[in-house]
């Protein structure tokens, strides 16, 4: 069973299941391993949700020709948001201890209190909890998410560009 020979439908449905599994692991890490997600982690989860939605829609519809690029564009949109968020998260984790921003309020409070544009600015400015490194298999969680975003983008582009149905 060679994944490079899978149909567009099979590849996109597999992409959906990978996104679902990654979100499942994030929930497992939160509720079982006790890894409390920071605001940047939550935005990375949202990016996987966007990607998973477009993978699912593309897999169910399985269009031919140029229409494939609509779903691929949605996957890319989610991935680009996730890549930017994961890169920012990794950058915050590399800061020296004296340059780490102070911890801010949690995301739920910010969403209830501030307009969305201000919430985005506050989240991407960073906070102390985002700089905490909790390795999973030797790498911090945002490094893993960055690798998965890049792999899933490659898969989406490859499936869309292939001539086979």
DSSP-assigned states of every residue in the chain:
--GGG--HHHHHHHHHHHHHHHHHHHHHHHHTS--PPPHHHHHHHHHHHHHHHHHHHHHHH---GGGHHHHHHHHHHHHHHHHHHHHHHHHHHHS-GGGSPPP---HHHHHHHS-HHHHHHHHHH--GGGG---EETTEEHHHHHHHHHHHHHHHHHHHHH-S--
- Per-residue pLDDT of 7-63, as tens digits, reads 999 999 999 999 999 999 999 999 999 988 888 888 999 999 999 999 999 999 988
**pTM of the predicted structure, to 2 decimals:** 0.85
Mean predicted confidence (pLDDT) in 112-133: 76
Number of domains in the chain: 1
Q: Residue 88 sits in a domain of what CATH number?
A: 1.20.1550.10
- Per-residue pLDDT of 98-107, as tens digits, reads 776 666 677 7
Q: Which domain covers residue 16, as residue numbers?
A: 3-161
For residue 104, the model assigns a pLDDT of 67
């Amino acid at each position: 069973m060679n994944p490079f020979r899978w149909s567009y439908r099979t590849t996109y449905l597999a992409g959906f299941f990978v996104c679902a599994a990654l979100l499942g692991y994030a929930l497992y890490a939160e509720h079982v391993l006790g890894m409390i997600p920071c605001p940047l982690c939550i935005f990375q989860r949202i990016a996987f949700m966007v990607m998973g939605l477009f993978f699912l829609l593309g897999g169910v519809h399985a269009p031919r020709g140029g229409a494939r690029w609509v779903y691929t564009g949605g996957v890319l949109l989610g991935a680009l948001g996730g890549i930017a968020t994961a890169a920012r998260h990794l950058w915050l984790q590399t800061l020296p201890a004296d340059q780490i921003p102070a911890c801010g309020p949690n995301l739920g409070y910010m969403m209830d209190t501030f307009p969305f544009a201000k919430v985005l600015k506050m989240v991407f400015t960073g906070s102390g909890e985002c700089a905490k490194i909790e390795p999973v298999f030797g790498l911090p969680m945002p490094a893993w998410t960055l690798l998965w975003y890049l792999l899933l983008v490659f898969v989406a582009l490859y499936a869309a560009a292939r001539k086979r149905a």
